[in-house]
Amino acid sequence: MDIDSKLSDQLRGIPRSGIRDFFELVIGRTDVISLGVGEPDKPTPWPIREAAIRSLEKGQTSYTSNLGLESLRIGISKYVEEHFRTHYDPKKEIIVTVGVSEALDIAFRAVLNPGDEVVFHQPCYVSYGPSITMAYGVPVPINTRLEDEFALLASDVEKAITPKTKVLVLNFPTNPTGAIEPVEELEKIAALCVKHDLLCFTDEIYSELLFDNRKHKSIVEFPGMRERTVLLHGFSKAFAMTGWRLGYACAPQPLIEAMMKIHQYTMLCAPIMSQIAAVEALKQGAEAYEPMRQSYEERRNFVVKRLNEMGLNCFNPGGAFYVFPEVTTATGLSGKDFALGLLQDQSVAVVPGGAFGPSGETCVRCCYATAPELLVQAMDSMEVFVKKHQK
Ligand code: PMP
């Protein structure tokens, strides 16, 4: 059978993740220091793991409500109110999902008709474009630039809006750049959403991981935004819970109801042990993530200093756990050739910036949520590599 001819046309046009392609080169190599995968280096804090262990001991292994455990939704409602100054009714305005990944997917599928356009800033998380395409929408990336520290300019958003635009997707702090959005621009972007009657999906997955005493402000907090926003958040990054696969979406009831229909026929519910662990994570709150946040800030300071000292142009990102140095000016190499060369010569893995969109092609992404002693070694090796290729 010609299986290829049986595959969906929609899927055929979607490339594999550039990160995955690159990391197949690393699989099986034990000598490589990886600054590649975007996840915390520490396991989930112990009290959270313990809550899940206890739940298994008690035999809590059932399905939950499609929307998620009520105790978790109540916890989410309190947490979101505190962090984003916005109230959501735990009974009907919150859905617990299998990671922010699922929340994004069901949000797109709940609102998009074929041909609807979705604007988002690029370089961005690798799944946005493909998730939009899989929901039969049209991805419309907006380039952000190193000279703006990858902030999104409201003037660029305005240029990208057409009568077909239905959704704007935001992610600050941003994967892969660590960028944060100036409040003045965010305010103007909110006004554009209201003016053009757009929905806004705001991916807040890194919102706890902010540096230099910054306070987070989400677009949902601006006038006229709550009614048109889906706030997407989860436990993977701040609470070091990537493997638990747990996220959530908060939005007005008709949107949650629509998302719930897709969720109930595909996932049914998120795993109960992960939900119980998440209840504990929210109880712990900043006590669980603050030590990790502080240590990311120290590592960011170290990595940014070293990258600039070796002659790469790297701005000081305000959040997340990524740096996105520009490598082409100093070495003449594209992001891809730099990453391949660094892996071959020095056994250090970083991700070519082009994996996050064409506007990142002269950059590489380094995740510094890696043991500090390995970061020192990785920076020393990168310096040797940069010296060899200095223009
Ligand atoms: N959004 C962004 C911006 C991310 O970086 C990631 C994970 N790398 C996700 C969503 C998906 O996270 P989750 O583990 O909650 O599915």
CATH number at residue 338: 3.90.1150.10
Q: Tell which atom from ligand 1 comes closest to the C-alpha of 174.
A: 3
Q: Which domain holds residue 62?
A: 46-284
Q: What percent of the chain lies above the pLDDT cut of 70? A: 100
Residues 148, 233 within the same domain: yes
Which residue's CA is the nearest one to ligand 1's atom 8?
Answer: 38
Strands 348-349 and 322-323: unpaired
316-321 mean pLDDT: 98
pLDDT on residue 121: 98
Same structural domain, 294 and 270: no
Closest residue CA from atom 7 of ligand 1: 38
In the reported structure, the alpha carbon of residue 309 is separated from the centroid of ligand 1 by a whole-number distance in angstroms of 31
Question: What is the C-alpha separation between 125 and 235, in angstroms, rounded?
Answer: 17
- pLDDT tens figures, 174-187: 999 999 999 999 99
What residues are in contact with ligand 1 under a 6 Å CB criterion? 38, 99-101, 125, 171, 175, 203, 205, 234, 236, 242, 247
Q: Which of 4-18, 181-195, 250-264, 347-361 has the lowest mean pLDDT?
A: 4-18
Residues 160 and 248 in one domain: yes
- Nearest-CA residue for ligand 1 atom 12 is 100
Structure tokens at 40: 């915390």
Q: Nearest to residue 348, comparing CAs of 390, 315, 376?
A: 376
Ligand 1 atom at minimal distance to the Cα of residue 203 = 1
pLDDT at residue 20 is higher than 80: no
* Start-to-end Cα distance in the chain: 53
Give the mutation target among 237, 245, 248 for probing the ligand 1 site: most ligand atoms within 8 A of CB: 237
Is the pLDDT confidence value at 22 over 90? Answer: no
Q: Look at residues 284, 316, 337 and tell me which one is the last residue of a structural domain.
A: 284
* From 100, 172, 351, mutation site for ligand 1 pocket: most ligand atoms within 8 A of C-beta: 100
CATH number at residue 258: 3.40.640.10
320 in the same domain as 280: no
218 closest CA partner among 263, 187, 176, 197: 187
Are residues 60 and 170 part of one domain?
Answer: yes
In sequence order, the β-bridge partners of residue 170 are: 202
| Same-domain pairing of 98 and 192 | yes
State yes or no: pLDDT of 364 exceeds 90: yes
Residues 138 and 177 in one domain: yes
- The answer to whether the beta carbons of residues 99 and 249 sit under 8 Å apart is no
Q: Which residues contact 215 (CB under 8 A, 6 or more apart)?
A: none
Q: Kindly state whether residues 57 and 18 are assigned to the same domain.
A: no
Secondary-structure breakdown of the chain: helix, strand, coil percentages, each rounded to the nearest 5: 50, 15, 40
Picking from 284, 308, 342, the residue at the C-terminal end of a domain is: 284
Work out the average pLDDT over 48-70. Answer: 98
Question: What average pLDDT score do residues 357-371 get?
Answer: 96
In this structure, which residue's CA is closest to atom 2 in ligand 1?
Answer: 125
| Phi, then psi, of 171 in degrees rounded to 5 | -150, 100
Specify the DSSP element, H or E, that contains 167.
strand 165-170
CA of 101 to the centre of ligand 1 (A): 6
Give kind and range of the element (H or E) at residue 366.
Answer: strand 364-367
Say how many C-beta atoms besides its own lie within 10 A of residue 261's C-beta. 13
**Domain edge (last residue) among 256, 284, 312:** 284
**205, 230, 248, 275, best to mutate for ligand 1 pocket (most atoms within 8 Å of CB):** 205
Query: Helix or strand or coil: residue 132?
Result: helix
* pTM over the 0.85 mark: yes
Residue nearest to atom 5 of ligand 1 (CA): 175
The overall average pLDDT reported for the chain is 96
Please tell me the distance between residue 132's alpha carbon and the centre of ligand 1 in angstroms. Answer: 15
What letters, b where the CB count within 10 A reaches 16 and e where it falls short, cover 116-144? bbbbbbbbbbbbbbbbbbbbebbbbbbbb
pLDDT at 16 over 90: no
Q: Which of 351, 370, 320, 368 is nearest to 19 (CA)?
A: 351
Of 106, 107, 121, nearest to 152 (Cα)? 121
- pLDDT for the residue numbered 4: 87
Q: Do 373 and 280 fall within a single domain? A: no
What is the predicted pLDDT for the residue at 287?
96
What local confidence, expressed as pLDDT, does residue 350 receive?
A: 96
Pairing status of strand 33-34 against strand 348-349: parallel
Question: Are 99 and 165 within one domain?
Answer: yes
3 state DSSP class of 47: helix
pLDDT at 376: 97
Q: For residue 180, how many other CB atoms are within 10 A of its CB?
A: 25
How far, in Å, from the CA of 245 to the mean position of ligand 1?
A: 10
Residue 357 confidence (pLDDT): 94
Residues 232 and 265 in one domain: yes
Mean pLDDT of 376-381: 98
- State mean pLDDT over 352-366: 96
Q: How far, in Å, is the centroid of ligand 1 from the Cα of 205? A: 7
Interval 104-158: pLDDT, tens:
999 999 999 999 999 999 999 999 999 999 999 999 999 999 999 999 999 999 9
Is the same domain home to 270 and 329? no
Query: Which numbered atom of ligand 1 lies nearest the CA of 38?
Result: 8
Q: What is the pLDDT of residue 197?
A: 98
Place of tokens 């220091």: 33
Q: How far is the CA of 282 from the centre of ligand 1 (A)?
A: 18
pLDDT of 223 reads: 97
Please give the average per-residue pLDDT across 292-296, as a whole number: 98
Q: How many domains does the chain have?
A: 2
Band of residue 9 on the pLDDT scale cut at 50, 70, 90:
confident
Closest to 68 (Cα-Cα) out of 237, 309, 333, 246: 246
